[in-house]
Amino acid sequence: MLVKIFATLRGVAGGKAVDVEAADVRSLIDALAVRYGPPFREEVMAGDDLRPGVVLLVNGVNVRALRGMGTPLTPSDTVAIFPLLGGG
């Protein structure tokens, strides 16, 4: 599936997009953490869940509105991962 990476997470991942195979969101994060190392996991995860300031969309739908980390994925899905940004 196509995984798009945005904002400050691009610096950790070293790019804008990557193709990854994963059965669900949890295995996707695990695969990305293997590829990009512990800094990626630290930026995205808090324990066993996504950090509150990280949004992960599957085909435009926030996984928090689906099954969270257990949300199933298919090869045709598009995933977007980005941190919430604040400003004033």
Per-residue pLDDT tens for 41-87?
A: 999 999 999 999 999 999 999 999 999 999 999 999 999 999 987 55
Contact 1, 76 (CB under 8 A): yes
pLDDT at 84: 86
Question: pTM (2 decimals)?
Answer: 0.92
Contact 69, 24 (CB under 8 A): yes
